[in-house]
């Protein structure tokens, strides 16, 4: 079967049909990353691997968004409940290990934070990347940040922040 996508792209897709369940396999991805797209006509949650995976992913996203919501509301105990006791926190300024030490760093961070807006999120397995804008008082302004988060036992075990640290040199 040939499928046309947009004006310029043509992708050849082979179709396997097994009892009303369709597996669309793109030969290009089979050679590179073995990617299989799964579709189910009846879409029963108890039998659908896609549904189970979406629920797992959504759980990490919900946890991360709640963590950053508590942070933007300057709720330190609220952020603490999402952190694993052995959490690792890496920024351009510091490499911090342990829940109490990380909470100390967060306390300093949220004292300056005026607003935090999540722009996007990307997930795979137990990892989530959030892209957000943090608004700080002048002369810092808006700092665009990417946070790579790893989850263990429904808690954040690892956070690595990527941002332009030059904005904070103005302090």
Question: Please, what are the domains in the chain?
Answer: 2-42 (no CATH), 52-170 (3.10.450.50)
The reported pLDDT for the residue numbered 150 is 97
pTM for the full model?
0.66
Rounded CA separation 99/106 (Å): 10
DSSP 3-state assignment of 101? helix
> Residue 167 has which token pair?
């904005």
In 34-141, which ranges are continuous DSSP H helix?
A: 49-72, 76-80, 99-112
CA distance 5 to 14: 15
Flag residues of the chain having pLDDT under 50.
Answer: 1-55, 57
Distances (CA, A) of 151 to 48, 76, 124: 23, 19, 11
């Amino acid at each position: 079967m040939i499928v046309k996508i947009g004006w310029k792209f043509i992708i050849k897709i082979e179709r396997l049909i097994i009892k009303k369940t369709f597996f669309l396999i793109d030969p290009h991805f089979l050679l590179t990353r073995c990617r299989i797209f799964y579709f189910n006509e009846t879409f029963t949650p108890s039998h659908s691997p896609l549904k189970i995976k979406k629920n797992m992913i959504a759980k990490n996203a919900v946890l991360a968004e709640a963590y950053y919501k508590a942070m933007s509301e300057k709720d330190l105990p609220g952020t603490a409940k999402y952190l694993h006791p052995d959490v690792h926190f890496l920024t351009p300024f510091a490499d911090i290990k342990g829940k109490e030490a990380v909470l100390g760093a967060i306390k300093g961070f949220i004292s300056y934070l005026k607003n935090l807006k999540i722009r996007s999120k990307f997930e795979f397995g137990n990892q989530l990347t959030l892209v957000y804008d943090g608004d700080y008082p002048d002369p810092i302004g808006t700092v665009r940040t990417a946070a790579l988060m790893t989850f263990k036992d429904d808690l954040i075990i690892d956070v690595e922040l990527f941002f332009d640290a030059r904005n904070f040199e103005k302090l």
